[in-house]
Amino acid sequence: MAGKITIDIEKCKGCGLCVAVCPKGSIVISSESNAKGYFPARPTNVDCTGCGECAVVCPDAVITVYRDDSRKAGSAGQRREANGAGVSRG
């Protein structure tokens, strides 16, 4: 299963929560600031499994996780999308 993370860097405040919870270290804090002066999180997408933990923990709901389940689902393949706005937190 492979994953891909996208982050809206102009809305990210660089709190680092996503970096802390990522089990594969697929997110880092950027060395360049956004228009608001924050240093946002930046996906490396290296070894991303698409677990979605980063999207769940993001307080600003600026992370979208894409997961490719094609190996699990067979030849038909399925793509799932999750982001912080669509995830129940409790």
Q: What is the pLDDT of residue 89?
A: 37
Its pTM stands at 0.75
> What residues of the chain score a pLDDT lower than 70?
1, 70-90
> Which helix (DSSP H) or strand (DSSP E) does residue 67 occupy?
strand 63-68
Q: Alpha helices of 7-74 — where are they, by DSSP H? A: 17-21, 53-57, 70-73
For the domain spanning 2-86, the CATH number is: 3.30.70.20
Q: What is the pLDDT of residue 72?
A: 57
Q: What is the pLDDT of residue 45?
A: 86
